[in-house]
């Protein structure tokens, strides 16, 4: 199952309305909740923050991948948030995160969860693609870029 199998324009925030890490995570969780992808916002937030407390998922080059296994996710799901200005995420290289992939999976979906995170890890290697995503002006454009049609 690929990122494009689970993403819809309704779970892509372009741009994120907020300016800090915790609020950005909350905003993406709200999107997933509004779209029926999760059953409990607080449970998901706690799961994500428990993981973040062990070490930030802010990677290099402005990408962050907050993720968690939680029973509040009814199936493997993801949301994307874009912040052209960047959000302080405690990343490895100190750069603010502009592209945030939030990934959630039910406890029994480890295989699919790993496959999806691996896909995001590969995507993050394409700098020009990531730059295009950060410059996208709409959720539809984000999907189109991911489909490779741009």
Partner 1 sequence: MSDIIRSILVYIDGTEQSVVAAHYAVCLAKTLNTELSALFVVNTQALGTLVKSRIFLQDEEAEYRRDLNADAERYLKHVQTIGQAKGVDIKLLNKSGSVSGEIKKCVKENDIDLLIIGELSRIKSRRDQFYDETERAMRSVSCSVLMVKDDERVWSMYDNLL
Residues designated catalytic? 67
Please report how the helices 127-135 and 139-146 are oriented relative to each other, as an axis angle in degrees rounded to 10: 160
Nearer to partner 1, 30 or 51 (CB): 51
CB atoms within 10 A of CB 132: 16
119 binds partner 1 (CB under 8 A): yes
57 binds partner 1 (CB under 8 A): yes
Nearer to partner 1, 41 or 51 (CB): 51
Candidate segments 17-25, 42-50, 55-63, 130-138, binder of partner 1 by CB under 8 A: 55-63
Chain residues in the site for partner 1 (CB under 8 A): 1-2, 4-5, 51, 54-55, 57, 59, 65, 67, 92, 110-115, 117-124, 146-148
């Amino acid at each position: 199952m690929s990122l494009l199998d689970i993403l819809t324009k309704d779970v892509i925030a372009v741009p994120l309305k907020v300016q800090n890490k915790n609020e950005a995570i909350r905003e993406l969780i709200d999107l997933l909740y509004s779209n029926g992808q999760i059953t409990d916002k607080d449970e998901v937030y706690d799961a994500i923050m428990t993981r973040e407390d062990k070490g930030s998922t802010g990677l290099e080059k402005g990408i962050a991948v907050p993720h968690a296994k939680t029973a509040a996710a009814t199936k493997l799901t993801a949301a994307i948030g874009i912040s052209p200005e960047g959000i302080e995420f405690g990343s490895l290289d100190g750069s603010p995160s502009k592209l945030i992939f939030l990934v959630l999976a039910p406890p029994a979906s480890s295989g699919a969860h790993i496959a999806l995170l691996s896909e995001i890890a590969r995507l993050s290697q394409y700098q020009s693609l990531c730059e295009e995503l950060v410059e996208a002006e709409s959720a539809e454009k984000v999907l189109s870029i991911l489909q490779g049609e741009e």
